[in-house]
Amino acid sequence: MEAKKIINSLQKRGLKGSIQRFRQGPQKVGLVDFWSFITDREVTEFNFEDFKKHKEGNQIILNWIIPEMGEGSGGHLNIFRFVSYLERHGIHNRMYLYRSTRFLNDAYLKEFIRKYFSILDENVELYHDTKFMTFADGTVATSWDTAYCVRNFNNTISKFYFIQDFEPYFYAHGSEYEFAEQTYKFGFRGITAGDWLKDICINEYNMQADSFSFSYDKDLYTPKTKKDNIKRVFFYARPVTPRRDFELGLLALNELSKRIPDLEVIFAGWDVSTYEIPFKHQNLGIMRIEELSELYGKCDLCLVISNTNLSLLPLEVMASGSVAVCSKGANSEWLVNEDNSILVSYDPIEIADTMYSYMIDSIKLDNIRKKGIEFAQNTSWDVEGKKVLEAVLKGIKEDEKCINNRG
């Protein structure tokens, strides 16, 4: 009965919502059952017979453990992009959902993936549960919770951790923070989105790590020419995602609106209709990906601030012919810089002052816009995919030597 309650809550609210609901009461909460995967030590041991049989063929195989997903999840899209690159370049991939409550059979999972993530190569195998997992050359964790599954799965040559952000920062410094941070101490090989994460893995957790950079969909995002003289700013507004600094951006834009009374601010990323916003704005909510480039291109500036690793959005903004305004710091400056973007502190007055100085200087703004377009166009997913491929092959080769020595 307790397990059923947990499953129902996960289906309704997701992991974070369920945690919050469980803490509220007044009903009793099955926290021990909910977090049991943290203390689970049921190990799948390395099988030498599986290893020898597998080595009779020439096919390298990866197991990918992924968390449950929603329609259009950006994190999953990036995973699928790299998995598809590997599939096209000689590595076969199998993907397993971990602790899924939504996808209760393989058929539904495959149907969902094909509908919402057509980027995934059709040759990739899909399974709704990790209980079907078998021997592979490498097994890859893709989020902090999936790392606990990989920790217990030893029937593999190498263990990798595909890291897109420093997930402990998603939580207050409490239990969830600690659960997430522990995973960087499991001894996996890191494959990270950018050098900020790679440096954290190496310098703070003594991990072996390689990094890749970002590109963008060059069919979707193309340079646009602004067709009017309206002063317009886009804000990636995600009040449900604290690390995206919604309150900070709101205060900064309020100050900017005082300096430019006819400023038009466009909010997108989430519905902000429940917030009282005292300046002229449009609330576009969650938009279709196909609509974004046109939106970015008609804005003078696009405010995209973050307290953790940046997303693909700054590159997509540059590629669309607008100018990205990003946070200063190592979490951003591994990709953006003062040549291709506008960098700001976390002070709302300073953000407003900096944005204003560019909006009244069309020459300075146009210079960054041109450099941003050039920078974005010089990026390539194939180049970054090759980095991931090389990291995987290197890790498996080094780890297999240890197994052969044991054998």
Q: pLDDT tens track of the chain, all 407 residues?
A: 455 556 556 555 666 666 666 666 666 778 999 999 999 999 999 999 999 999 888 899 999 999 999 887 889 999 999 999 999 999 999 999 999 999 999 999 999 999 999 999 999 999 999 999 999 999 999 999 999 999 999 999 999 999 999 999 999 999 999 999 999 999 999 999 999 999 999 999 999 999 999 999 999 999 999 989 999 999 999 999 889 999 999 999 999 999 999 999 999 999 999 999 999 999 999 998 999 999 999 999 999 999 999 999 999 999 999 999 999 999 999 999 999 999 999 999 999 999 999 999 999 999 999 999 999 999 999 999 999 999 999 999 999 998 876 55
pLDDT of res. 1: 45
12 occurs within a structural domain: no
92 occurs within a structural domain: yes
Q: Which helix (H) or strand (E) holds 227?
A: none
- The CA distance from 109 to 153, in Å, is 23
pLDDT of res. 71: 84
Q: Do 275 and 154 share a structural domain?
A: no
pLDDT of res. 73: 84
Total count of domains within the chain? 2
Q: Do 210 and 69 share a structural domain?
A: yes
Q: Do 372 and 398 share a structural domain?
A: no
Phi, then psi, of 76 in degrees rounded to 5: -70, -40
Q: How far is CA 124 from CA 84, 88, 237, 308, in A?
A: 8, 10, 34, 31
Q: Is the dihedral of CA 292, 293, 296, 298 positive or negative?
A: negative
SS3 of 162-220: EECCCHHHHCCCCHHHHHHHHHHHCCCEEEEECHHHHHHHHHHHCCEEEEECCCCCCCC
Q: Which helix (H) or strand (E) holds 148?
A: helix 144-152
Structural domain boundaries, residue 252 = 232-377
pLDDT of res. 284: 95
pLDDT of res. 9: 61
Q: Do 344 and 400 share a structural domain?
A: no
Name residues whose C-beta falls within 8 Å of residue 256's C-beta, 6 or more positions apart in sequence: 233, 263, 351, 352, 355, 356
Q: Is the dihedral of CA 176, 178, 184, 187 positive or negative?
A: negative
The crossing angle, in degrees rounded to 10, of helices 381-406 and 74-88 is 70
Q: Do 389 and 370 share a structural domain?
A: no
Q: Do 238 and 183 share a structural domain?
A: no
Phi, then psi, of 75 in degrees rounded to 5: -65, -45
Q: Do 101 and 189 share a structural domain?
A: yes
pLDDT of res. 354: 97
Q: Do 184 and 64 share a structural domain?
A: yes
Q: Do 76 and 100 share a structural domain?
A: yes
223 occurs within a structural domain: no
CATH number at residue 345: 3.40.50.2000
Q: Do 126 and 253 share a structural domain?
A: no
226 occurs within a structural domain: no
CATH number at residue 393: 3.40.50.11090
334 occurs within a structural domain: yes
33 occurs within a structural domain: no
325 occurs within a structural domain: yes
pLDDT of res. 392: 98
Phi, then psi, of 343 in degrees rounded to 5: -105, 135
Q: Do 133 and 273 share a structural domain?
A: no
292 occurs within a structural domain: yes
Q: Do 259 and 153 share a structural domain?
A: no
Name residues whose C-beta falls within 8 Å of residue 148's C-beta, 6 or more positions apart in sequence: 37, 38, 40, 183
Question: Among candidates 74, 71, 112, 113, which has minimal Cα distance to 93?
Answer: 113
